[in-house]
């Protein structure tokens, strides 16, 4: 037994080496297969993930294009508005020049027509932007404490009305003013206060201009201020005399805000 020699066939070792090599090769093949499969899946995943990104980019481009179109449209609209404003400015400037010329011409005509009364100080004519004012002393039109127009006053109003017909672009506001002396007992039943007296005088002048001088009534208005718009002190007789007056104010229609207010429609 001691001298027994054990001979192991070489074949099994070689076979084992083959199997081990084959196993490693199989592992390599399996890994390669997995890697290949994984790459394919990754490529598919990349392709799937890339699609939404491309769509998002396209949506962004479309949004930018839409914003650009809207901006261009807004610019064109603003340019149109600027052009319209420029035209309107030129038209307003032209109208303003015409209004100034009209006011100046009306003023000069009235001064010439009422030269005698102006020189006597019984009528004062003033001119400002878009307005001509005739300050007419009470004594020309009315007796003290009365609202009926005197014959002399009617003649003057006819002359004034003739000139007012030449300026249809101007409205006419007649204002009644008094001093601060209370209405006397004999006149209180008819004119309880200076408000009623001032209003009656203004209305009578307006009616005369419409009915006798042929002035369009749409141009006329009457206002009463009583003693609350004095142009002189009521502490002196001279001041009171100046405050007792009628003012005829010619106002360019575009500046007469009162005429722009429409009466509510009747239902």
CA angle centred on 120, ends 119 and 125, rounded to 5°: 60
Q: Is residue 37 part of a domain?
A: no
pLDDT of 176-233, one tens digit each? 999 999 999 999 999 999 999 999 999 999 999 999 999 999 999 999 999 999 999 9
Relative to beta strand 220-226, strand 123-128 is unpaired
The residue-averaged pLDDT of 166-185 equals 95
Confidence at residue 10, expressed as pLDDT on a 0 to 100 scale? 47
Lowest mean pLDDT across 68-77, 83-92, 193-202, 237-246:
83-92
Confidence at residue 182, expressed as pLDDT on a 0 to 100 scale? 96
Q: Is residue 249 part of a domain?
A: yes
Q: What is the mean pLDDT of the chain?
A: 81
Q: Is residue 185 part of a domain?
A: yes
Q: Where residue 55 falls among pLDDT bands split at 50, 70, 90? A: confident
Q: Where residue 115 falls among pLDDT bands split at 50, 70, 90? A: very high
Confidence at residue 124, expressed as pLDDT on a 0 to 100 scale? 96
CB-CB contact of 225 with 201 (8 Å) = no
* C-alpha–C-alpha distance, residues 242 and 222, integer Å: 20
Q: Is residue 13 part of a domain?
A: no
Q: Where residue 27 falls among pLDDT bands split at 50, 70, 90? A: very low
Q: Is residue 210 part of a domain?
A: yes
Whether this prediction's pTM lies above 0.85 is answered by no
Portion of the chain with pLDDT greater than 70, in percent: 72
Confidence at residue 13, expressed as pLDDT on a 0 to 100 scale? 53
Q: Where residue 38 falls among pLDDT bands split at 50, 70, 90? A: low
Confidence at residue 158, expressed as pLDDT on a 0 to 100 scale? 96
Cβ neighbour number for residue 253 with a 10 Å cutoff: 15
Residue 123's φ and ψ, nearest 5 degrees, are -130, 130
Confidence at residue 95, expressed as pLDDT on a 0 to 100 scale? 56
Lowest mean pLDDT across 15-24, 144-153, 166-175, 244-253:
15-24
pLDDT of 124-154, one tens digit each? 999 987 899 999 999 999 999 999 999 999 9
Q: Is residue 3 part of a domain?
A: no
Spatial CB neighbours of 256, under 8 Å, sequence gap ≥ 6: 171, 173
Q: Is residue 32 part of a domain?
A: no
Q: Which residue has the tokens 């914003």?
A: 67
Confidence at residue 185, expressed as pLDDT on a 0 to 100 scale? 95
The residue-averaged pLDDT of 240-246 equals 97
3-state secondary structure 218-241: HHEEEEEEECCCCCCCCCCHHHHH
- Number of structural domains found in the chain: 1
CB-CB contact of 243 with 177 (8 Å) = yes
pLDDT at 24 over 80: no
CATH number, domain of 116, equals 3.30.1330.60
Confidence at residue 136, expressed as pLDDT on a 0 to 100 scale? 97
Reported in sequence order, the residue ranges of the chain that DSSP labels E, i.e. its strands, are 123-128, 131-137, 170-177, 220-226, 245-252
Q: Is residue 202 part of a domain?
A: yes
What range defines the domain where residue 121 resides? 101-257
């Amino acid at each position: 037994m001691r001298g027994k020699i054990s001979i192991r066939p070489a074949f099994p070792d070689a076979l084992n080496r083959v199997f081990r090599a084959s196993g490693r090769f199989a592992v390599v093949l399996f890994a390669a297969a997995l890697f290949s499969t994984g790459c394919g899946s990754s490529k598919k995943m990349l392709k799937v993930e890339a699609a939404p990104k491309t769509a998002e980019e396209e949506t962004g481009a479309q949004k930018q294009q839409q914003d650009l179109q809207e901006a261009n449209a807004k610019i064109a609209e603003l340019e149109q508005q600027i052009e319209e404003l420029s035209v309107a400015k030129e038209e307003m400037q032209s109208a303003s020049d015409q209004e100034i010329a009209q006011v100046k011409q009306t003023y000069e005509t009235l001064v010439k027509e009422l030269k005698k009364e102006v020189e006597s100080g019984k009528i004062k004519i003033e001119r400002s932007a878009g307005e001509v004012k005739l300050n007419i002393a009470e004594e020309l039109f009315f007796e003290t404490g009365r609202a009926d127009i005197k014959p002399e006053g009617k003649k003057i109003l006819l002359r004034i009305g003739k000139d007012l017909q030449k300026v249809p672009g101007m409205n006419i506001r007649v204002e009644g003013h008094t001093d601060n002396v209370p209405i006397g007992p004999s006149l209180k039943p008819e004119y309880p206060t200076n408000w009623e007296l001032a209003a009656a005088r203004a209305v009578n002048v307006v009616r005369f201009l419409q009915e006798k001088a042929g002035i369009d009534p749409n141009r006329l208005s009457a206002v009463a201020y009583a003693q609350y718009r004095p142009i002189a002190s009521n502490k002196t007789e001279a001041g009171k005399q100046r405050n007792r007056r009628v003012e005829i104010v010619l106002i360019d229609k575009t500046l007469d805000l009162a005429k722009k207010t429409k009466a509510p429609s009747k239902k």
